[in-house]
Amino acid sequence: MKARIRALRPLTPNPAGETPAPREPARSAALTRARLVVAVVACFLGAGVATLGGRDEPSQSAGGKHVSAIVRGIGPRAVEKTFNPKTTRGLKVAKVAFQFTYRHEARLLEQVRDRIEQRWNALESATLRVLKRRTPEELRTDEGLDRLADELRRAADSTLFADGIASVEDILWQQVIVQ
């Protein structure tokens, strides 16, 4: 509290009659931390970030055609589903949560984001249809989860980007519970 009060006092001349220059606080470390936090938050909220400080200009290919930069992004939020897996007897409950990564041309960023928002409910429906076909045993093994991730990737790709403006690349598991 005393440091704050001292900082608010008017500057007084020193015995030599000179007015000392106000000290500039070291802001570079705080600015760097702020930039890092913004970049991490942007990645988690689905902002496609190719490179920090990169150009949005198209590059030239060997054939002389202009090709837009490719941007990778992550889905805006996790898909979370609680469902009953397929069983021969008894009743099981499973819960999964995952996000997906996708890629698209930089110039299509707004279209891709809008498409994801518009088709989100259809994605959740397609996800549930895929999940209900799985057995509890498949959900407990790495091989079963790999096959499920591949099928979910294809379902998300066809549901969100049937016209090919982007493509779903990977499924990132956050939670898999089988009871």
Interhelix angle 142-160/120-132, rounded to 10 degrees, is: 150
Identify the architecture of domain 71-178 in CATH. Answer: 2-Layer Sandwich (3.30)
Q: What is the C-alpha to C-alpha distance for residues 176 and 179, in angstroms, rounded to an integer? A: 10
CA torsion sign for 163, 151, 102, 81 is positive
Per-residue pLDDT of the chain (179 residues; tens, 9 = 90+): 444 444 444 444 555 555 555 544 555 555 556 565 555 545 545 544 443 333 334 444 445 555 568 999 999 999 999 999 999 888 899 999 999 999 999 999 999 999 999 999 999 999 999 999 999 999 999 999 999 999 999 999 999 999 999 999 999 999 999 99
Q: What is the DSSP string of 110-162?
A: HHHHHHHHHTHHHHHHHHHHHHHT--HHHHHSHHHHHHHHHHHHHHHHHHH-T
What is the distance between the alpha carbons of residues 137 and 61, in angstroms, rounded to a whole number?
48
Q: What is the pTM of this model?
A: 0.62
Name residue, tokens 């690349």.
Answer: 169
Q: What are the structural domain ranges in the chain?
A: 71-178
Q: Under DSSP, is residue 67 helix (H, G, I), strand (E, B) or coil?
A: strand
